[in-house]
Amino acid sequence: MAALKKRYPDCSFTGIGGNRMLEEGLHSLVSMDRLAMNGFVDPIKRLPELVRILRLLVRTFTENPPRVFVGVDFNVFNLLLERMLKRRDIPTVHYVSPSVYAWRRRRVQRISRSADMLLTLYPFEPALYEAVPVEAVFVGHPLADQIALDAGGEEATRRARATLGVNADARCIAILPGSRMSEVRLLADIFLGAAAIVARELPMCVFVVPCLRPEIAAWLDAILGKYPGLQVVTYAGDARLALTACEGALIKSGTGTLEAMLLGRPMVVSYKLGELTYQLIRRLLRTRFIALPNILAGEELVPELLQHAATPEALAEKMLAQLDKARREPEYLARFADLHRQLSKGADERAADAVARWLHVDREVDRQDGS
């Protein structure tokens, strides 16, 4: 939005968005809170409200057609909305690509029926859409632009540790079991068990755990009694501070692995699901890896220990090996920096350029029509 306003100072934005979009001047038709939901059950319970919001948006944009509609993530809802708008000859852009590289690759057909253009975060994604009639444009990852190449350097680490009250000379490992309570219940105890084993090999090691929600902090406090003597620092906030302060991380698969890579932190990646869900997902997966650094590199840069393989002993062994590898092989972390550069492309500006092509076409038509 900010980049588009630089190109078109008189442009306006209408839709649904959060506080940062409101600050950029969005006229929000309904509160973003009405679209906030988790899991599979919540959307089903709130289906009537979602249908009402969908109808409101279709009616609004049919009566006052935008030059272009940009749907940001929220894939099921936005792809349905985009398909309905596309049928009304409204140009549609979807930002970002769903994870079709991992599973459900047939979704590319559905996406092409909804979006005229797709903006992707990763360089390998446009090739996945070559066989369908949608223009897929790699714009880069905004996170790679936000995190400078030296953001994980010594001075940043020192400041992060001072904020957390961690000694500058201590060994420090981040523990990131997830931001949802369901993820924390499945992984935190295993990660702490691994931490206890690592602590026996690295005396005076401090473990830092971000707690995005108060219930996560309370749950961790309750189970830490199982690990007397383990030095654990918890704080209210996201993962960036812990990853900046640490020298390595035990981390749940997800965007956190990308953030760790961008900060140049060796990591061990894990994931655990309920057994039935795991068996189902395992049969649907179409990728060799689940950790984003490995997917981007096309090889196993960082260890992945999933489901039954994710034992405290195995996690600890891999974590110690990663710390040693990072110390002995400087070129190992240089691979992370190479991937960082591949993703840092000025995503906001490139996305604005892609969207502006639709605005430019419309303006040319307007001038030819005398409007």
**Nearest in space to 173 (alpha carbons), one of 256, 247, 266:** 247
Task: Report the alpha-carbon distance of residue 224 to residue 227 in Å, rounded.
Answer: 5
DSSP tally for the chain: helices H, then strands E: 17, 12
Axis-axis angle for helices 75-86, 47-63 (nearest 10): 30
> What single-letter amino acid sits at 109?
Q
pLDDT score of 367: 39
Catalogue all structural domains in the chain, each as residue range(s) with its CATH number: 2-140+347-369 (3.40.50), 146-343 (3.40.50.2000)
Q: Is 211 exposed, middle or buried (0-12, 13-18, 19+ CB in 10 A)?
A: buried
**Nearest in space to 70 (alpha carbons), one of 138, 132, 17:** 17
Task: Report the alpha-carbon distance of residue 290 to residue 272 in Å, rounded.
Answer: 12
E strand or H helix that includes residue 231: strand 231-236
Task: Report the alpha-carbon distance of residue 337 to residue 152 in Å, rounded.
Answer: 11
Torsion on CA atoms 287, 293, 296, 299, rounded to nearest 10: -70
Q: Which two tokens stand for residue 200?
A: 């026996």
pLDDT score of 314: 98
pTM of the model: 0.88
**How many CA atoms lie less than 13 Å away from 28 in the CB half-sphere?**
16
Concatenated DSSP letters of 281-339 = HHHHB--S--SHHHHHHTS-SS-EEEGGG--HHHHHHHHHHHHHHHHH-HHHHHHHHHH
Torsion on CA atoms 312, 313, 319, 320, rounded to nearest 10: 140
Task: Report the alpha-carbon distance of residue 160 to residue 170 in Å, rounded.
Answer: 13
pLDDT score of 33: 87
Q: Is 17 exposed, middle or buried (0-12, 13-18, 19+ CB in 10 A)?
A: buried
CB-based contacts of 299, cutoff 8 Å, min separation 6: none
**Nearest in space to 160 (alpha carbons), one of 241, 39, 259, 68:** 241
Task: Report the alpha-carbon distance of residue 93 to residue 116 in Å, rounded.
Answer: 6
Task: Report the alpha-carbon distance of residue 233 to residue 21 in Å, rounded.
Answer: 34
Q: What is the pLDDT along the chain (371 residues), one digit of tens a residue?
A: 999 999 999 999 999 999 999 999 999 999 998 887 665 566 777 788 999 999 999 999 999 999 999 999 988 899 999 999 999 999 999 999 987 655 556 678 889 999 999 999 999 999 989 999 999 999 999 999 999 999 999 999 999 999 999 999 999 999 999 888 888 888 999 999 999 999 999 988 999 999 988 999 999 999 999 999 999 999 999 999 999 999 999 999 989 999 999 999 999 999 886 666 655 566 556 668 889 999 999 999 999 998 889 999 999 999 999 999 999 998 999 999 999 999 999 999 999 999 999 887 544 444 344 33
CB 143 within 8 A of CB 258: yes
Task: Report the alpha-carbon distance of residue 251 to residue 259 in Å, rounded.
Answer: 11
pLDDT score of 121: 96
User: What are the Cα distances from residue 217, in Å, to 27, 213, 235, 271?
Assistant: 36, 7, 8, 20
